[in-house]
Amino acid sequence: KNEVEQSPQNLTAQEGEFITINCSYSVGISALHWLQQHPGGGIVSLFMLSSGKKKHGRLIATINIQEKHSSLHITASHPRDSAVYICAVREDYGGATNKLIFGTGTLLAVQP
Amino acid sequence: DAGVTQSPTHLIKTRGQQVTLRCSPISGHKSVSWYQQVLGQGPQFIFQYYEKEERGRGNFPDRFSARQFPNYSSELNVNALLLGDSALYLCASSLAGRLAGVADTQYFGPGTRLTVL
């Protein structure tokens, strides 16, 4: 079983729809990242969370530490939001590394 | 300021060859991490370096090695290439690499796509 699980694996939405991507993890963490990866590879960091909620434009990320769960929401989705969204956690084991453990990603396609 | 840069962008090698990938972190960042992303999967941690010292190593064979230079740039070397080494290799930099006990954001480069034939 992967330490970081995402759902759904694939998501197709119509432009304007509200989108939710979920992430569950099984380890204690010091931080959780939401990342965006476009075809061709480049990864962009969207959010880093250790508690609560963050908002940037149409993107909202929430985390529930007790339930080991995070969600990424996209409001008023647009075709340019089409990408792979990846959840990654930094395990809190007291070590000095900032190694990230990644989920397998959610492929989002927003149709006009 | 320039972001994280990686070279080369693409690389084709044959089995048994050796390859060196390069990464330049964001100015002021002292920590560099390397990840391997096989097609269809999430990235897997290979190494982290901070101030030229190895801070973490993932579950990769000894064919994989890395180093960090005084200017904080880094090289990833892979010897005796196998077909399974074909992947996107990502470099990420951050300010402190968790020394202060506080999570800091990692910034990713565009990656080097390695194809082993």
pLDDT digits (tens, 9 = 90+) for B78-94: 999 999 999 999 999 98
User: For residues B48 and B92, is the Cβ–Cβ distance under 8 A?
Assistant: no
With a CB cutoff of 8 Å and minimum separation 6, the contacts of B100 are none
Q: Which band of pLDDT confidence, cut at 50, 70 and 90, is reported for residue A112? A: very high
pLDDT recorded at residue A105: 93
- pLDDT of A42 above 60: yes
pLDDT digits (tens, 9 = 90+) for A60-99: 999 999 999 999 999 999 999 999 999 999 887 666 677 8
Task: Using a CB–CB cutoff of 8 Å, tell me whether A105 touches chain B.
Answer: yes
Residue B80 has what pLDDT?
97
Q: What is the mean pLDDT of residues A24-31?
A: 91
pLDDT value of residue B1: 59
- Does B30 contact chain A (CB < 8 Å)? no
Does the beta carbon of A97 lie under 8 angstroms from any beta carbon of chain B?
A: yes
CB contact under 8 A, A97 and B55: yes
Mean pLDDT of A42-67: 93
Lowest mean pLDDT among A39-48, A70-79, B22-31: A39-48
Task: Tell me what percent of the residues of chain A surpass a pLDDT of 90.
Answer: 74
Q: Is B68 on the interface with A (CB under 8 A)?
A: no
Rg of chain A over all Cα atoms, to the nearest angstrom: 14
Is residue A41 predicted with pLDDT exceeding 80?
A: no
* Rounded alpha-carbon distances, angstroms, from residue A108 to A14, A85, A86: 11, 7, 11
pLDDT of residue A1: 67
Question: CA B32 to CA A67: how far, in whole Å?
Answer: 31
Interface test with B, best of A4, A36, A99 (most B CBs within 10 A): A99
